């Protein structure tokens, strides 16, 4: 079974080493991990970003399962690139797993970045937009997509010391995927 390993850790300076650790975890469970940086590409070409996209879409099409890292990225919510991939895999009818190394509810996360006020029983952000307040850790689309297309989001009891490199919940997702391999 092939697992597409999605997440914003590809933007870290040690992204390749993290990918190797993820791949090793998959192998220990007799699964094959596909990592976005596996595609060797010449980033200096004019259409590099299009070639990256095409490579990643092929990789997703070849995978049976996605494990998405939904740890908040540059704001209160998950990395939109990773979320696109989660949506794509759900749309393709693939099994979806995900984890997030920050257990805080979404409304609390928003309040870290901007002033949140209350008006007519709604939480409102500093642009006047309602803040989702279902007690979920992120936008309901990703939370329930995981629940209905695979397995509910895995969250830690407390934020690990290194939210970008702690792979405990990634491994827990791999175990879930391995147990449900058909």
Candidate residues 73, 97, 99, 170; the one interacting with a copy of itself per rule CB under 8 A: 73
Q: How many CB atoms lie within 10 A of CB 158?
A: 9
**Residue bearing tokens 């993290």:** 18
42 part of the interface to a copy of itself, by CB under 8 A: no
Length of the chain: 182
- The tokens of 47 are what? 């259409």
- Cβ nearer to a copy of itself, comparing 17 with 84: 84
- Cβ nearer to a copy of itself, comparing 125 with 156: 125
Report whether 174 contacts 67 (CB < 8 A): yes
128 part of the interface to a copy of itself, by CB under 8 A: yes
169 part of the interface to a copy of itself, by CB under 8 A: no
Q: Smallest distance, Å, CB 90 to a copy of itself?
A: 5
* Separation CA 100–CA 145 (nearest Å): 14
Report whether 76 contacts 114 (CB < 8 A): no
118 part of the interface to a copy of itself, by CB under 8 A: no
Report whether 66 contacts 96 (CB < 8 A): yes
- Cβ nearer to a copy of itself, comparing 166 with 178: 166
- Kindly tell me the burial class for residue 64, based on how many C-beta atoms sit within 10 Å of its own C-beta (0-12, 13-18, 19 or more): middle
- The residue range among 26-34, 46-54, 153-161, 167-175 that interacts with a copy of itself, by the rule CB under 8 A, is 46-54
Query: Which residue from 79, 55, 29 is spatially nearest to 181, judged by alpha carbons?
Result: 29
- The residue range among 16-24, 97-105, 136-144, 166-174 that interacts with a copy of itself, by the rule CB under 8 A, is 136-144
Binding site for a copy of itself (CB under 8 A): 8, 11-13, 48-50, 52-54, 56-57, 73-81, 83-93, 110, 113-114, 125, 127-132, 134, 136, 138-145, 147-148, 164
């Amino acid at each position: 079974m092939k697992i597409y390993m999605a997440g914003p850790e590809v933007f870290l300076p040690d992204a390749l080493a993290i990918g190797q650790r993820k791949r090793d975890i998959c192998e220990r469970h007799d699964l094959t991990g596909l990592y976005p940086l596996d595609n060797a590409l010449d980033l200096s070409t004019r259409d590099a970003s299009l070639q990256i996209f095409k490579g990643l879409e092929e990789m997703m099409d070849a995978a049976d399962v996605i494990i998405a890292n939904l740890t908040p990225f540059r704001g209160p919510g998950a990395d939109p690139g990773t979320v696109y991939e989660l949506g794509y895999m759900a749309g393709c009818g693939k099994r979806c797993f995900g984890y997030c190394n920050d257990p805080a509810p979404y409304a609390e996360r928003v309040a870290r970045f901007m002033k949140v006020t209350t008006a007519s029983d709604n939480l409102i952000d500093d642009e006047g937009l309602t803040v989702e307040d279902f007690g979920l850790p992120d936008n309901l689309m990703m939370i329930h997509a995981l629940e209905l297309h695979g397995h509910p989001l895995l969250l830690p009891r407390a934020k690990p010391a290194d939210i970008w490199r702690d792979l405990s919940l990634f491994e827990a997702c791999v175990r879930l995927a391995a147990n449900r391999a058909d």
